[in-house]
Chains A and B, each alone.
Chain A
Amino acid sequence: MSSQVAAMPRKTRGPWAVAFAKLATDRAAMASLAVFLIIVLACFSAPLYAKWAGTDPFASTLDAVIQIDGADVPVMEQSTEGLGLGYTPIGPTWRLGNYFLGADSQGRDVMARLLYGGLNSLLIAGAATIFTLIFGTLAGLIAGYFGGITDTVLSRFLDVLWAFPIYLLAISLSIVTIAQGIAIGPIEIQSGSLWLPIIIIGIVYIPYVARPIRGQVLALRHSEFVLAAINLGVPGWRILWRDILPNITTTLIVFVPLMMALNMLTESALSFLSIGVQPPAASWGTIIQDGQALLYTRPLVALVPGLAIAVSVMALNVFGDGLRDALDPRSKVRLGRD
């Protein structure tokens, strides 16, 4: 009996299981993922935090007075020395729920805005990533598979898009749409909608996804199994869906964190320039912009969202690197031999 069991072939793990096993051993990637998930959880708890703290992060509260150690403290402190010029927002109290990071120039709780801002930044970056991946993949698949005039037209179009500096293109599109919104036939997006930055960021990065996908599809198009399917009369859409798409999935997965990081940076830049998320809504970019006028007296207002962007982007990039290594076939071979 025992010898029979020993003679049975060992059950091999599938490629996904191998990849996850490999990823799980990458401490840097897992730590980055943990950091990013904590940030995501914190940001998604923004409405709860604001409710618990009893603060409205979007309304001006210049006359608000808070209690610190039993004493009433105005949120905006007027200078009492000399000519008595200017008002300075309250600094960090380091008390959760009570202006933990202080106030901005409108007397709003920076901590609550930071969480709401992160929520918007993550939503925009995430949705823009999905937008880019869908349209980038579609363009890459069609161009690479059908070739000929379709490839030429699509590739030249992507080349034109690619030729523009990303930020210049994003800024131009934002300026054109920010005041009036977009109205194309039945599709109408109001100015101020988060869909505007999502679509703009999504569009400008399409070539970044489409070009490498097209390259991969071109190579797959001439592989034996695809040629065989074509010769057997399998429809093109089915070959794309069943044979080619599964073979580029790992590339798309690797793109997710990297594009997300890139999109977060772009969203912050656009919002910083007032052409992304519109006030009074917050994003990390708009909070940095608000904090710019307070750099001398309340530097944390600008520094903290800046730090949040840096940590999130770094975590996504490190995790993306780990994911790429894990999904790399050569790594799988090495793992298999171990």
Chain B
Amino acid sequence: MKKLLLAASVAALLAGSWLAPAQAEYLKEHRGGTIRLLARSAAGTLDPHINYTDQGWQMYQPIYDGLVTFRKAEGVDGFKVVADLAEALPTVSNDGKTFTFKLRKGIKFSNGQDLGVKDVVASFQRIFKISGPTSGTFYAGIVGADKCLADTKSCTLEGGVVADEAAGTITLNLTKPDAEILYKLALPHAVILPADTPAEDMGSKPIPSTGPYMISAFDPNKGMTVSRNPNFKQWSEEAQPDGYPDVVQYDFGLSEEAAVTAIQNGEADWMFDALPSDRLGELGSKSMDQLHISPLSAWWYAPLNTRMAPFDNEKARQAVAYAVDRNTLVKLFGGKVLASPVCQVLPPDFPGHEDYCPFTKNPGAKWSAPDVDKAKQLVEESGTKGQKVTIIVEDTAISRSIGVYLQSVLTNIGYVADVKPISSNLQFTYIQNTNNKVQMSVTQWYKDYPAASDFLNILFSCASYREGSDASINISGFCDKDIDAEMQKALDLGVTDQKAADKLWAAIDKQVTDKAPAVGLFTPKRLDFVSKRIGNFKFNPQFNWIVTQSWVQ
């Protein structure tokens, strides 16, 4: 057995020593150059503790670090949490309520300051001091968080985040076990910033960073320049690998059509925004080698307001779910290559997902065809026929066309429906505002981290519905005490047995789907169009394309 172990160790060593030079060789061969990215507009504030956008989170990956992070890898490996600024994953004690991290030594911020435990404590306090968007949800379980949420300015998180300067450790105490705490710590909202970072939204002012890159220039109307951090030395290839390009130039303002042309002409390397639908055919046939299609843990859905007529009637909601032709919606999104029909909440290949579709011609695991007769029958039974329904959609080509399609479906099954497109900047806030009394809308949800609760608990728990608030993320207003209890049970179970918890989440997914507080439309895929010179394209399931792991020379 010992011999076997020794042999395995030698093999691992050899493999490591064989792999390491390969990466170094690649770095030597391809290091340098400028990657030019395009987007219609900037992603908002530069502050990583505040920015809550896909676009921002993607760009923070080679710039900022947390105690832990998602592995910079493709496929399911990319969902794995690994130690980043911490030497290793934390030791867990006190029945899963205490996490102890040991901070790596010798790491500097891009401004030359040494990273220390005081920066970690200050960063956690800052999440609350600036009223970060997830301070009341993701990090509310830290001891002392309740006081911080009540009085943000004097937040100390006393007893919650405890530093030991001499030992170089940070101890995180929770009020109760949280199976998802490592995921939450791996998000950009928990990255470590210098202790003297002002406790206010830094807006367009870059904050010093620890990663291989830093933001060296930013103009929200023009662009962002990301250049090498002179103080970076690679400490973990899986957590924060050195990058290939010297500079990432992110330019804002070009339309999607113009961005496609720029990439075709080799003037740019990638665009953030979705490709224009009328260019898909051309690009799919002439530029196949420049396209990358990747699965997304996301959900396009139509929330139905369970607190307003006609959708306060379960049969009326189920009727819509039966009537919607998911194939048509997939077609509107660009075809089967770019989207798949769904009925349920959890996306495919996501923890807790088990194929389930009750609202189809032949109920079972997968959606096959709409059942309009059944839908009409349910509308009759519900006694809601002839009622008025307004669908609120984003003012984008795809959302608008989905809205128009849903309007014709509702009209067909007996409602008097109309569609209201609202500016993309406002629509999500509008439909979350309970005062607006939105009956039906079209929206999307992209995972924050790979856990079933991030869909089910956030979108459909009673606590997620806030009457009178403009941030009621439970847009359907769905609240079922029994399902809520099941969700709490699954969250608790996840602390000790994640597999069993995922089984329970699968059951909850089915229960929520049956109640139809929202109509699942489709699961989208990400289509990245890159220039010919981009090499080593890697797609991380958590944060999308790993920009600096591609090379341009």
Contact = CB atoms under 8 A, between A and B. Distances in A.
Interface in A75-106: 76, 78-79, 81-88, 105-106
Nearest to B327: A63
A274 B397 CA distance: 11
A25 interface: no
A179 B403 CA distance: 14
B284 A84 contact: yes
A79 B275 CA distance: 15
Nearest to B391: A279
Interface stretch (A46-54, A137-145, A295-303): A295-303
B11 interface: no
Nearest to B422: A179
Given A83-B284, A86-B284, A192-B420, A279 B257 contact: no
A298 B282 CA distance: 13
B397 A293 contact: yes
A216 interface: no
Given A87-B334, A179-B422, A296 B278 contact: yes
A294 interface: yes
A191 B390 contact: yes
Given A86-B280, A86-B334, A295-B278, A278 B418 contact: yes
B134 to A, nearest CB: 29
Nearest to A180: B436
Contacts of B411: 59
B285 interface: yes
A84 to B, nearest CB: 6
A78 B293 CA distance: 18
A293 B397 CA distance: 7
Contact of A278 (B286, B331, B420): B420
B285 A79 contact: yes
A86 B280 CA distance: 5
Contacts of A76: 331
Interface in A167-197: 175, 178-180, 191-192
Given A191-B390, A296-B276, A82 B404 contact: no
Residue of B278, B337, B423, B527 with highest tally of chain A CB at under 10 A? B278
A87 B331 contact: yes
A296 B276 CA distance: 9
Interface in A125-172: none
Contacts of B328: 60, 62-63
Interface residues of B, number: 43
Contact of B335 (A81, A87, A293): A87
Interface string B427-449: 00010000010000000000000
B462 interface: no
B408 interface: yes
Nearest to B336: A84
A293 B280 CA distance: 11
Contacts of A192: 390, 418, 420
Given A105-B397, A106-B405, A294 B285 contact: no
B294 interface: no
A331 interface: no
Interface in A189-240: 191-192
A229 to B, nearest CB: 53
A280 interface: yes
A55 interface: no
Residue of A84, A88, A178, A295 with highest tally of chain B CB at under 10 A? A84
Contacts of A60: 328, 401, 404-405, 408
A85 B283 contact: yes
B286 A279 contact: no
Residue of A78, A83, A292, A298 with highest tally of chain B CB at under 10 A? A83
B407 interface: yes
B202 interface: no
A255 interface: no
Contacts of B282: 296-297
Given A79-B280, A86-B335, A280 B420 contact: no
Contacts of A294: 277-278
Contacts of B404: 60, 106, 279-280
A44 interface: no
B408 A178 contact: no
A298 B281 CA distance: 13
A86 B277 CA distance: 7
Interface in B366-411: 390, 392, 395, 397, 400-401, 403-405, 407-408, 411
B308 interface: no
A58 interface: yes
Contact of A179 (B278, B400, B420, B527): B420
A280 B419 contact: yes
B304 to A, nearest CB: 18
B279 interface: yes
Given A82-B285, A82-B286, A105-B397, A279 B278 contact: no
7 contacts: A79-B335, A82-B285, A83-B337, A105-B277, A178-B420, A274-B422, A278-B420
Given A82-B286, A280-B408, 17 more contacts: A62-B405, A63-B328, A79-B285, A82-B285, A84-B284, A85-B280, A85-B337, A86-B280, A88-B281, A105-B277, A178-B420, A180-B436, A274-B395, A274-B421, A278-B420, A293-B276, A293-B397
Interface of B: 257, 276-286, 288, 291, 293, 328, 331-332, 334-335, 337-338, 390, 392, 395, 397, 400-401, 403-405, 407-408, 411, 418-423, 430, 436, 527
9 nearest A-B pairs in the assembled complex, by CB-CB distance: A86-B280, A85-B284, A81-B285, A82-B285, A79-B281, A83-B284, A293-B397, A85-B280, A274-B421
Interface of A: 58-60, 62-63, 76, 78-79, 81-88, 105-106, 175, 178-180, 191-192, 274, 278-280, 292-298
